């Protein structure tokens, strides 16, 4: 059973360009989460999605950032008009948890390291 897949692993963009990060959850998982990690810091929650629905986007910047998890295909985190401050590692995680399940073990992908020049 393949784990969480993310691509690309490394992405370099110039200021003003768009970045698209893709995440395929573990087989059978319908809950996807995106986190951002700056160097030497912890992971910060960005957005939580289930198939075709955004459940919680309270951690997403209001502008330039968007996420989707279509019925078919991977989840996409899209950053428009990137700025240097967007440089970070972006991790996707997935879980199997049903409503009310408390353990909620999340399985993380290898991350996409975005560098904005």
Partner 1 sequence: GQSLEQPSEVTAVEGAIVQINCTYQTSGFYGLSWYQQHDGGAPTFLSYNGLDGLEETGRFSSFLSRSDSYGYLLLQELQMKDSASYFCAVRDETGANNLFFGTGTRLTVIP
Check residue 102 and report its DSSP letter.
Answer: S
Identity of the residue, 18 or 56, whose beta carbon is nearer to partner 1 in the bound complex: 56
Taking CB under 8 A as the rule, does residue 75 contact partner 1?
A: no
Report, in Å, the least distance between residue 103 CB and partner 1. 5
What's the CA gap between 48 and 85, in Å, rounded? Answer: 22
Report, in Å, the least distance between residue 115 CB and partner 1. 14
Q: Residues 5, 22, 26, 43: which binds partner 1 (CB under 8 A)?
A: 43
| 75 and 52 Cβ atoms separated by less than 8 Å | no
Q: Site map for partner 1, 52-71, x if CB under 8 A?
A: ---xx--x------------
Non-local CB neighbours of 71 within 8 Å, separated by 6+ positions: 51, 52
Identity of the residue, 76 or 89, whose beta carbon is nearer to partner 1 in the bound complex: 89
- Tell me the DSSP string of 41-88: S-EEEEEEEETTEEEE-TTS-SSSEEEE--SSS-EEEEE-S--GGG-E
Taking CB under 8 A as the rule, does residue 29 contact partner 1?
A: no
Binding footprint of partner 1 on the chain (CB under 8 A):
31, 33, 35, 41-45, 48, 55-56, 59, 91, 93, 95, 97, 102-111
């Amino acid at each position: 059973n393949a784990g969480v897949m993310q691509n690309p692993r490394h992405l370099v963009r110039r200021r003003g360009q768009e970045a698209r990060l893709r995440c395929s959850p573990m087989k059978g998982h319908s809950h996807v989460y995106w986190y951002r990690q700056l160097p030497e810091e912890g992971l910060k929650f960005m957005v939580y999605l289930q198939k075709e629905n955004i459940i919680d986007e309270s951690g997403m910047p209001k502008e330039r950032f968007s996420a989707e998890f279509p019925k078919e295909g991977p989840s996409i985190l899209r950053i428009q008009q990137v700025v240097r401050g967007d440089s970070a590692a972006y991790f996707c995680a997935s879980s199997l948890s049903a409503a009310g399940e408390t353990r909620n073990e999340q399985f993380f992908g290898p991350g996409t390291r975005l560098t904005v020049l």
